[in-house]
Every structure is written in structure tokens, then in C-alpha cells.
Amino acid sequence: MIHATAIIHPSAQLGADVEIGPYCIVGADVVLGDRCRLQHHVSVQGPSVFGADNVFYHGGSVGERTQDLKYREEPTRLEVGDGNCFREFVTVHRATMPGGVTRIGNRGNFLAYSHVAHDCLVGDDVIFSNNGTLAGHVEVGNRAIIGGLSAIHQFCRIGAHAIIGGCTKVVQDVPPYFVADGNPAAPRAVNLVGLERAGFSKDTIRDIKAAYRTLYRSNLNTTQAMEKLRAGDPVPEVRILADFVESSQRGIIR
């Protein structure tokens, strides 16, 4: 179902049952998976590959060239999984460096005016509230939530199951499972509701809460806190937290 006013580049590939509404543009080297739906006035540019069941609301611009001033039309890509929803005026850009990829996983919900910049890696089941913004090279873990009007500095990482509060400025990594809020962002609590909804057991949540206290409510420095977290035989979630902290290049929020 392709509206008569839509413009489809000859090199674009459309899967089964794709719907393209009025005044949409599908550019060169775009691959749209089965049952993707473009509402109206949507621009999808390539090289980009989209899985099945993605929905694009009006005014969105997805797969456009990076805004990075270093970019000189080198070949870069956008890769998007299945079942994502891109609401009104969402923008997603391809990577900057030759061969680079901006990547979005599955079942993400990107609310109006949210932005994913060049070279970002976004996981599955994320939620970006209105005007949630990623600068370049940001990594966002599975089931993370980016609050409305929040901004994530380039090269920062948002851990899985983390929540970024509305109007938050993030300039360092946010560890998984935690709530970050403020300008600049500071740790506030464990994301208890999110962990319960994700099916974490009470015992695992108890261990994550203890890890939060060790990291943020004790008098230990980061090295000492990591030693304590790794002592004994911690649950996998605590090991994931420790690995995240120890691999941080920008440091974690404090």
C-alpha cells in the first residue's frame, strides 16, 4: 500500500505488506522489513536497514546523514531491529566514520522529538520520552528509560534497566539498574519498579540494593567498592554492574 504522492527510490527494498502514506520519501539503499508503516510526511534515508513491524509517525527523519562536521559523505549505515515505534518528528542519524553504524535494537518506543545521533548503540525495549536526546557515540542498554528533555553527552553509556529523570544532564556513565536525575546527573536510587516489572527476583533486587549502597552510600572509593562487590560469589547482575563500572572511560555519575 503505497500512496500516489510517496516517492520511493528505485534502489529501495520493501518487504511484504509495507504501508507508505502520503508525501513520504524512501531514499536510496533503504531496506524496509515486512509490515513497516510510514504514516505521512516521513523521510527515511539510507544506507539503512529496518527489520519488521517498525512504525514511523509523521514528520520523522530517520537514516539521514550525520550532523557531525567531520563527515564528508563517507559510506555509513543505520541498522534498526523489529517492532520499534518512532513518534512525531523523531530524528535518527547514520554514523560518521567510514563503515560506521548507528544501531537500534528491537521494540524501542521513541516519543516525539527524541533524537539518536551518529554512532549510537541503542538496545532493546528502551523508552525515550519526548525530547530525550543522545549525542554521538552514546550507548544505551536494554530496557533503559530516557526522561523527557534529557540530554546525554557524547561517549556516555546508560546501563541496562537504568532510568534517566526528566530534564537531566548526563555527562558521565550511568550504571545499570539505577535512577539518575539532576543537572548534572546524580544517583538517586535503585530502579525498583523497573526491576520488578522486568521479572527480577526479590533476592536479586536485594543484592542490587546492597551493591548500590556499597557504591554510593559507603565511605569506600570506587576501587574499594569494586573489591567488595566482587568478593565471594556475587550474582550475575552484580558482576554486570562491576564490569560496567570498571570499564567506564568517562567515569560514573556521583
Domains of the chain, CATH where assigned: 7-137 (2.160.10.10), 196-246 (1.20.1180.10)
Q: Mind spelling out the 3-state secondary structure of the chain?
A: CECCCCEECCCCEECCCCEECCCCEECCCEEECCCCEECCCCEECCCEEECCCCEECCCCEEEECCCCCCCCCCCCEEEECCCCEECCCCEEECCCCCCCEEEECCCCEECCCCEECCCCEECCCCEECCCCEECCCCEECCCCEECCCCEECCCCEECCCCEECCCCEECCEECCCEEEECCCCEEEEECHHHHHHCCCCHHHHHHHHHHHHHHHHCCCCHHHHHHHHHCCCCCHHHHHHHHHHHCCCCCECC
The one catalytic residue in 33, 81, 115, 119 is 119
Q: What is the rounded average pLDDT for all residues in the chain?
A: 97
119 belongs to the catalytic site: yes
Q: The whole model's pTM is what?
A: 0.96
Structure confidence by residue, pLDDT tens digits, 114-162: 999 999 999 999 999 999 999 999 999 999 999 999 999 999 999 999 9
Structure confidence by residue, pLDDT tens digits, 154-200: 999 999 999 999 999 999 999 999 999 999 999 999 999 999 999 99
Once rounded to an integer, what is the mean pLDDT over residues 18-47?
98
What is the reported pLDDT for 23?
98
82 belongs to the catalytic site: no
161 belongs to the catalytic site: no
The one catalytic residue in 93, 118, 137, 161 is 118
The one catalytic residue in 136, 141, 147, 165 is 136
What is the reported pLDDT for 228?
95
pLDDT band at residue 242, thresholds of 50, 70 and 90? Answer: very high
